[in-house]
Amino acid sequence: RSATVYSTPIRELIHEFKFKGSRRVRPLLCDLFVRGANRHLESKDFDLIVPVPLHWWRQFRREFNQAEILGESLSESWGIPLVLNSVRRVRMTPPQSGLSGRWRERNIQGAFQPGALGLAGARALLVDDVMTTGRTLAACSSALLKAGAMSVVGYTLSRRL
């Protein structure tokens, strides 16, 4: 599920947030994300919120993880912990945005591993900014299940149709 459809003007706002680090649009996107989650999900169904991690180098260059910022806003609204160390991105990959479906799958293979924190039966809500094919969410979900999560549901700010 997603809060919005990835089209104008949402697409431009997400690009401004993600690639230009705009603090101006951050509150609006976080509000859309939380409102969408309140419409589509039940907070009682989750024990924790997990943002899709960036590779450490990409996060260093960008100075933030947009999924983490969205997750923080939902964590504050719902009173559910945001957990950062349950899945790790262990391989630097080219951005998924420029790849076809087949290449997206290849690109993301082996990119995520369970993190240091075990999840022992937790019901996780996995969050990200944009979903196109769902390959990134699927790869992260697999790592979370290997880390011991009982269930994983993916939720994004926006979805490409």
Q: 11-63, pLDDT tens digit by residue?
A: 999 999 998 888 899 999 999 999 999 999 999 999 999 999 998 888 898 89
What is the extent of the structural domain holding 137? 2-159
Q: 93-122, pLDDT tens digit by residue?
A: 766 666 666 777 777 788 899 987 779 999
The CATH number of the domain where 111 resides is what? 3.40.50.2020
Whether 75 shows a pLDDT value over 70: the answer reads yes
| Cα(80)–Cα(126) distance, integer angstroms | 13
Q: Would you call 39 helix, strand, or coil by DSSP? A: helix
pTM of the model: 0.92
Residue 49's H or E segment, with its range, is strand 48-51
Total count of domains within the chain: 1
CB distance 140 to 126 below 8 Å: yes
pLDDT at 94: 65
What's the longest Cα–Cα distance across the chain? 41
**Positive or negative torsion for Cα 56, 24, 79, 36:** negative
Distance of CA 77 to the CA centre of its chain: 17
| Cα(69)–Cα(42) distance, integer angstroms | 20
